[in-house]
Amino acid sequence: MENREIGGSGKRCRRRCLLLCAFAVIVIIIAVVVGLVLHKGTQDFKTIFLQRCKEFKDNNCERIWDGFEKAYVNQNSCNVPMEAYDPLLAVAPFKSSNKTMFWSKTKDVVHSFTEKRDCFLTLEDTLLGSVLDGLTWCGKEGSHETLTTGCPGWTQCENNTVRSFWGRVSAAFADIATGNVTVMLNGSIITPFSSDSIFGSIEVKRFDSKRVKNLNILLVMQKNAVTNCTNDSLKELQMVLDKGIKYNCKEVAESQIEECMSQPEKPCESCW
């Protein structure tokens, strides 16, 4: 009886050891797979970044990538302030422009227009704006990888990686605006100007009357337009605008803008 009990105990011990070994192997495999996936995510993201960057000639894209990556790698993804992207802007600064176009809640129509007509420059038409448009990225403490999933959403935390980037480059883009500045706002919503938007909270506040002479509002009107240039939110815009900058608002049918896209011989100013 004693021998059988000892033998049974030994078998149970061996089974436990085999189970523990099998579990350890599974954990190692999962860790390796996760590591490979994270590395592949970084490589895929970097490939997209560099491919888009190289569409803009005469730029050191590897250097720009290094400046970009330093802003968020090994950082809490909710603790990346706007200033973290200052080194990136140092290696890829914006150039002064007198044909800047801003937008709020009109992204599709604005970019359809600038894609077909070379009259205006939006942030997304610049190197940094074009490279990162539509992408999500973040880092995490203790890692030098670039993550593309599991990143905090725009409203989840104020200093998240993506939100801080767009806030910082938006401020820099507004700083290089000169002369006549144009912004397309949405005439199909009750408040076309929102102080919470990037345009309202950052860009318009950076317009300096020493550089910017006129702010031209294009209120894009669809068939379901619910407002016009007398809207109260636009009066709020005038109040926060730097004194000395002339304000002008014009209601423009979206169909009129679309028609003008297909007429390259037509001066852009006559589109509205």
What's the mean pLDDT when you consider all of the chain? 88
Q: Which of 56, 128, 131 is nearest to 92 (CA)?
A: 128
CA–CA separation, 261 vs 112, rounded Å? 8
Residue 14's pLDDT band (cuts 50, 70, 90): low
Residue 7's pLDDT band (cuts 50, 70, 90): low
Q: How many CB atoms lie within 10 A of CB 178?
A: 17
Phi and psi at residue 176, to the nearest 5°:
-100, 0
> What average pLDDT does the segment 60-66 reach?
97
CA–CA separation, 197 vs 170, rounded Å? 11
CB 146 within 8 A of CB 45: yes
CA–CA separation, 254 vs 232, rounded Å? 22
CB 230 within 8 A of CB 261: no
pLDDT (tens digit per residue) in 135-189:
999 999 999 999 999 999 999 999 999 999 999 999 999 999 999 999 999 999 9
CA–CA separation, 66 vs 55, rounded Å? 18
pLDDT for 33: 41
In angstroms, what CA-CA distances link 187 with 125, 246, 255?
Answer: 24, 21, 13
> What average pLDDT does the segment 86-92 reach?
97
Could you give the angle at which helices 61-69 and 2-54 cross, rounded to 10 degrees? 130
> What average pLDDT does the segment 5-23 reach?
52
pLDDT (tens digit per residue) in 43-52:
799 999 999 9
DSSP run (H or E) holding 219 = strand 212-221
pLDDT (tens digit per residue) in 201-240:
999 999 999 999 999 999 999 988 899 999 999 999 999 9
Q: How many CB atoms lie within 10 A of CB 20?
A: 10
pLDDT for 11: 53
pLDDT (tens digit per residue) in 241-265:
999 999 999 999 999 999 999 888 8
pLDDT for 133: 97
pLDDT for 224: 82
CB 89 within 8 A of CB 174: no
CB 83 within 8 A of CB 159: no
Does residue 40 register a pLDDT over 90? Answer: no
Q: Which of 177, 168, 136 is nearest to 154 (CA)?
A: 136
pTM for this predicted structure:
0.83
Q: Maximum CA pair distance of the chain?
A: 103
CB 174 within 8 A of CB 206: yes
> What average pLDDT does the segment 99-114 reach?
96
Of the chain, the end-to-end C-alpha distance in Å amounts to 100
Q: Which of 134, 138, 109 is nearest to 124 (CA)?
A: 134
Domain spans of the chain, in order of start: 2-271
CA–CA separation, 139 vs 38, rounded Å? 11
Q: Domain 2-271 adopts which CATH fold?
A: ADP Ribosyl Cyclase; Chain A, domain 1 (1.20.82)
